[in-house]
Protein backbone atom coordinates (compact mmCIF):
# COMPACT_ATOMS: atom_id res chain seq x y z
CA UNK A 1 0.00 0.00 0.00
CA UNK A 2 1.49 3.34 -0.98
CA UNK A 3 1.99 6.11 1.57
CA UNK A 4 1.70 9.80 0.77
CA UNK A 5 2.83 12.98 2.53
CA UNK A 6 0.21 15.68 1.93
CA UNK A 7 -0.32 19.26 3.05
CA UNK A 8 -3.34 21.56 3.09
CA UNK A 9 -3.89 25.11 4.33
CA UNK A 10 -6.33 25.51 7.23
CA UNK A 11 -8.08 28.51 8.75
CA UNK A 12 -9.81 27.21 11.88
CA UNK A 13 -6.86 25.68 13.72
CA UNK A 14 -5.50 22.19 14.17
CA UNK A 15 -8.06 21.05 16.76
CA UNK A 16 -10.99 21.78 14.41
CA UNK A 17 -9.18 20.08 11.54
CA UNK A 18 -8.37 17.05 13.73
CA UNK A 19 -12.01 16.61 14.77
CA UNK A 20 -13.03 16.69 11.11
CA UNK A 21 -10.31 14.18 10.19
CA UNK A 22 -11.44 11.83 12.98
CA UNK A 23 -14.99 11.98 11.63
CA UNK A 24 -13.69 10.43 8.38
CA UNK A 25 -11.87 7.46 9.94
CA UNK A 26 -14.55 4.86 9.15
CA UNK A 27 -15.16 6.14 5.61
CA UNK A 28 -11.43 6.32 4.88
CA UNK A 29 -10.93 2.84 6.31
CA UNK A 30 -13.77 1.47 4.18
CA UNK A 31 -11.86 2.77 1.15
CA UNK A 32 -8.70 0.94 2.25
CA UNK A 33 -6.83 4.01 3.51
CA UNK A 34 -5.51 5.07 6.91
CA UNK A 35 -4.10 8.25 8.40
CA UNK A 36 -0.69 7.44 9.93
CA UNK A 37 -0.05 10.85 11.54
CA UNK A 38 -0.86 14.52 11.19
CA UNK A 39 0.83 17.69 12.44
CA UNK A 40 0.35 21.43 12.09
CA UNK A 41 2.88 24.20 11.64
CA UNK A 42 3.33 26.49 14.70
CA UNK A 43 0.71 29.05 13.64
CA UNK A 44 -1.76 26.30 12.69
CA UNK A 45 -2.27 27.52 9.13
CA UNK A 46 -1.10 24.32 7.45
CA UNK A 47 -1.51 20.64 8.22
CA UNK A 48 0.86 17.89 7.13
CA UNK A 49 -0.57 14.39 6.87
CA UNK A 50 0.95 11.02 6.16
CA UNK A 51 -1.59 8.53 4.84
CA UNK A 52 -1.50 4.95 3.70
CA UNK A 53 -3.70 4.89 0.60
CA UNK A 54 -4.93 2.11 -1.69
CA UNK A 55 -3.60 4.00 -4.73
CA UNK A 56 -2.08 7.41 -5.48
CA UNK A 57 -5.35 8.67 -6.99
CA UNK A 58 -7.11 8.27 -3.63
CA UNK A 59 -6.33 11.86 -2.62
CA UNK A 60 -8.42 13.09 -5.56
CA UNK A 61 -11.11 10.40 -5.73
CA UNK A 62 -11.93 10.63 -2.01
CA UNK A 63 -10.68 14.04 -0.85
CA UNK A 64 -12.30 16.00 -3.67
CA UNK A 65 -15.65 14.19 -3.63
CA UNK A 66 -18.25 16.99 -3.27
CA UNK A 67 -19.64 15.74 0.06
CA UNK A 68 -16.16 15.20 1.50
CA UNK A 69 -14.81 18.51 0.15
CA UNK A 70 -17.76 20.33 1.74
CA UNK A 71 -17.06 18.83 5.17
CA UNK A 72 -13.36 19.64 4.81
CA UNK A 73 -14.10 23.26 3.82
CA UNK A 74 -16.55 23.66 6.73
CA UNK A 75 -13.71 22.62 9.08
CA UNK A 76 -11.44 25.30 7.63
CA UNK A 77 -9.46 23.29 5.09
CA UNK A 78 -8.81 25.08 1.82
CA UNK A 79 -9.37 22.02 -0.35
CA UNK A 80 -7.87 23.74 -3.40
CA UNK A 81 -4.48 23.89 -1.62
CA UNK A 82 -4.29 20.13 -0.98
CA UNK A 83 -0.87 19.13 -2.28
CA UNK A 84 0.89 15.80 -2.36
CA UNK A 85 4.39 16.66 -1.18
CA UNK A 86 5.83 13.25 -2.01
CA UNK A 87 5.10 9.55 -2.04
CA UNK A 88 6.74 7.87 0.98
CA UNK A 89 8.80 4.72 0.69
CA UNK A 90 9.89 3.28 3.98
CA UNK A 91 9.46 5.09 7.29
CA UNK A 92 10.21 4.71 10.99
CA UNK A 93 8.21 6.08 13.90
CA UNK A 94 10.35 6.37 17.01
Closest to 5 in 3D by CA, of 63, 43, 56: 56
What's the CA gap between 31 and 12, in Å, rounded? 27
Q: Is the pTM of this model over 0.75?
A: yes
pLDDT for the residue 60: 85
Closest to 3 in 3D by CA, of 44, 41, 37: 37
Domains and CATH numbers, the chain: 3-88 (3.30.70.260)
Question: 3-class SS at 80?
Answer: helix
Instruction: Say if residue 84 is exposed, middle or buried (CB neighbours under 10 Å; 0-12, 13-18, 19+).
Output: middle
Largest CA distance in the chain: 37
pLDDT in tens, 19-71: 999 999 999 999 999 999 999 999 999 999 999 999 988 988 998 899 999 99
pLDDT for the residue 94: 84
Query: With contact defined as beta carbons under 8 Å apart, do 89 and 17 qualify?
Result: no
Amino acid sequence: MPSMLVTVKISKGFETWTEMAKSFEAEVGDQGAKMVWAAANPDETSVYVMMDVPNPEFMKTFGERPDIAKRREEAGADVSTTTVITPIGDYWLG
